[in-house]
Amino acid sequence: MEKVYLDNAATTRVRDEVIAKMQEALANCYGNPSSTHSFGRSAKTAIEKARKTIAKYLNAHPSEIVFTSGGTEADNMILRCAVRDLGIETLITSKVEHHAVLHTAEELEKEYGIALQFVDLDGDGNPRLDHLESLLAQDAKKKLVSLMHVNNEIGNLLDIAAVARMCKDRGALFHSDTVQSIGHFEWDVQEVPVDFMTAAAHKFHGPKGIGFAFVKKNSGLRPLIVGGAQERGNRAGTEPFHNIVGLEEAFVAAYDHLDEERKYISRLKQYFVEKIQSAIPGVAFNGLSGYMEKSTYTLTNVRLPFDTQKSLMLLFHLDLKGIACSKGSACQSGSDMGSHVLNEILDKEELKKPSLRFSFSKYNTKEELDYVVQVLKEFAES
């Protein structure tokens, strides 16, 4: 049986060189980074090297990089601390954000009584920037905007530079969940003046359980997790040294090979889009995920013309055939609520059809995509 992994938006295979780096760290550098002896100092030095490396690629200052357990913690930290520490009265977001942002925003509304406002979406699921402009101009209250750069389910790309400029002009702070774009797109935080960003290593062939927040210098945020002076006082807890050096290795590899890997993965996506359109009449693409220039090159979200009864067996059938993909975000596994993103952008008839997210990486091949399309075609005809 073939084994095909097309769920890279959920998590990616760890690069061999990252595994080797982490094994070396686990075996040879086991001191607590907060200890003052040589074992601790060597671990601390490597952590600070990783911080400087990441900052250099983002054109940030090392002090602006805070290591976290991943994107969810980083999103929670930034939103919560901004409301608690910076006097945010209005939080503006959209209904197609990751739940790490949406659920945090809902909790903050209850806890602090802030105004929670949602930017209207266009028919493709993009936040309407004219409506954002009107929300920003509504009153003089201190505002935080939180809009993701790459939608994790439908792959839509936000015009993040335009949003950053708009927020700056209106005196609002801007946070972007960039978990799906760090490691896949170039970043320069001087050119795109975001105040806060988030990243997770496992989205770009690094280990799970480690990520980072970009927090603009002198932001005024105090730590969310307290109990120690680690992370330059920004996050308490003994640093997972092996994970941090793994993140650094994956981050450097992602950007050093970005051009060649982006070209390769883009060709795979284009091939898959054309192949499935040809094989299954009536197939559609959710959001802008079928357009190469308007969505990320790493995923597409396909709506298949199957009836309700057939749809019930689709994921089970694909799994039996060794194919891994997603019905929606992997964070929703086990839930029968369906995709909150698709619920926002599709009508009732469209929602009755099964939608699958296929996400690609450097480890995929055209032969694998041929196999997936063939399995789907046979299922459609059965």
- Domains in the chain (CATH in brackets) are 4-12+258-381 (3.90.1150.10), 16-256 (3.40.640.10)
For residue 240, give every residue at least 6 positions away whose Cβ sits within 8 Å of its Cβ, in sequence order, or none. 209, 210
| pLDDT tens, position by position, 11-69 | 999 999 999 999 999 999 999 999 999 999 999 999 999 999 999 999 999 999 999 99
Whether residue 332 has pLDDT greater than 50: no
Whether residue 204 has pLDDT greater than 90: yes
Indicate which residues carry an active-site annotation: 331
Four-point Cα dihedral 302, 364, 71, 60, nearest 10: -120
- Residue 82 · residue 175 · CB < 8 Å: yes
- Residue 29 · residue 42 · CB < 8 Å: yes
**Whole-number pLDDT of residue 130:** 98
**Whole-number pLDDT of residue 311:** 86
Whether residue 219 has pLDDT greater than 60: yes
As a whole number, mean pLDDT of residues 319-329 equals 87
| pLDDT tens, position by position, 90-129 | 999 999 999 999 999 999 999 999 999 999 999 999 999 9
209-223, 305-319, 360-374: which has the minimum mean pLDDT? 305-319
What percentage of the chain exceeds 70 in pLDDT?
A: 97
The pTM (predicted TM-score) of the whole model is 0.95
| pLDDT tens, position by position, 69-99 | 999 999 999 999 999 999 999 999 999 999 9
Three-state SS for the chain is: CCCEECECCCCCCCCHHHHHHHHHHHHHCCCCCCCCCHHHHHHHHHHHHHHHHHHHHHCCCHHHEEEECCHHHHHHHHHHHHHHHHCCCEEEECCCCCHHHHHHHHHHHHHHCCEEEECCECCCCCECHHHHHHHHCCCCCCEEEECCCECCCCCEECCHHHHHHHHHHHCCEEEEECCCCECCECCCCCCCCCCEEEEEHHHCCCCCCCEEEEECCCCCCCCCCCCCCCHHHCCCCCCCHHHHHHHHHHHHHHHHCHHHHHHHHHHHHHHHHHHHHHHCCCCEECCCCCCCCCECCCEEEEECCCCHHHHHCHHHHHHHCCEECECCCHHHCCCCCCCHHHHHHCCHHHHCCCEEEEECCCCCCHHHHHHHHHHHHHHHHC
The pLDDT confidence band at residue 1, using thresholds 50, 70 and 90, is: low
Whether residue 336 has pLDDT greater than 50: yes
Cα 133–chain centre separation:
25
- Residue 217 · residue 171 · CB < 8 Å: no
**Whole-number pLDDT of residue 328:** 58
Whether residue 131 has pLDDT greater than 80: yes
